[in-house]
Copies of this chain bind each other. A is one copy, B any other.
Amino acid sequence: MGFASLTHAEREDFWNLWFSELVKGHVGMTYKVKKILYSGQSRFQRIDVLDTHEYGRMLVLYGSVMFTERDDFVYHEMMAHVSYYSHGGPSSALVIGGGDGLTARELLKHSSIRSVVVVDIDEMVVERCKEFFPESKAALDDPRVKVRFADGAEFVRKTDERFDIVLVDSSDPVPPSDVLFRREFFENCKRCLGPGGILIAQTESPFYNPDVIKEVYASLREIFRIVKPMVAWIPTYPSALWSFAFCSDERHPVEGFDRKAFLADKIATKYYNEEIHAAAFALPAFVRSLL
């Protein structure tokens, strides 16, 4: 082959470094990696930041993709805006585990939001996100955002603060995040909600993790009067069909949706809009029968 005549990009393409995230060791996504920007080990987990061809930069914790620059908008928009436009005027939010600051980034699009408390157990995750992801840095450095390095389960058990919105932006149910899927944790989350408060928790893939999900929803239904599962498409998460639990004692996500406010606000979104807000609560038949 005439190597001499190849462009720089063509030569770069010979560098076949692949990162794969597998489900049960049998199936998964595989990404061609341009460069490993960081690999390290915190007190809690392995942390990697990869630069990939199709998805840009990617945060990987304990071998699982947390977010990528190209598709993070889906997960973070859905957590932030579905809760925001179901509440009717929230001013404070608590994000458990969102050390990447991207759920905060979405919340900050709303001028009524005056305070976002981000509780992450792993300071190193926050540091690496600020170093490698400009949008994380911008959000985490915003004066309305306070980052606390603490165990989320302990934080909600002890705090006296009350929030209009609590978002459980956890990683998968393996340590250190396993406690964020337990009944006691959700009870304490509820304790932190102000009047009319809303909790949204990520609840894994209904396609690959039906058992986790059943258990979590059984707990939530004992705690909250209104528990509505919603789904969103996230191409870099296992199976790409992701579920979230919308929980409240007062607010219904579809009947209480403030469509007018969304249309008036004109916030920039790439996934969420006034149709998706309701459509996310329409569950595929197999998900409905599971929950």
Say how many copies of this protein the assembly contains: 2
Would A282 and B284 count as touching, CB distance under 8 A?
no
| A209 in the interface (beta carbon within 8 A) | no
B13, B29, B276, B285: the one contacting A282 at CB < 8 Å is: B276
| A91 in the interface (beta carbon within 8 A) | no
| A55 in the interface (beta carbon within 8 A) | yes
Nearest CB on B from A69, distance (A): 13
Residues of A near any B CB (own CB < 8 A): 13, 20, 22-32, 52-55, 74, 207, 231, 233, 235, 239-241, 269-273, 275-276, 278-286, 288
Q: Can you spell out 30 A-B residue pairs with CB atoms less than 8 angstroms apart?
A: A20-B30, A22-B30, A23-B54, A24-B53, A24-B54, A26-B32, A26-B52, A26-B53, A26-B54, A27-B30, A28-B30, A29-B29, A30-B30, A74-B284, A231-B233, A233-B241, A235-B239, A235-B240, A240-B241, A269-B285, A270-B285, A270-B286, A272-B284, A273-B284, A273-B288, A275-B282, A276-B282, A278-B282, A279-B279, A279-B280
If A27-B32, A28-B29 are given as contacts, then 17 extra A-B residue pairs at C-beta distance below 8 Å, sorted by A number, are A20-B30, A24-B53, A25-B32, A26-B52, A27-B31, A27-B53, A29-B29, A207-B235, A233-B240, A235-B241, A271-B285, A272-B285, A273-B285, A273-B288, A276-B283, A276-B285, A279-B282
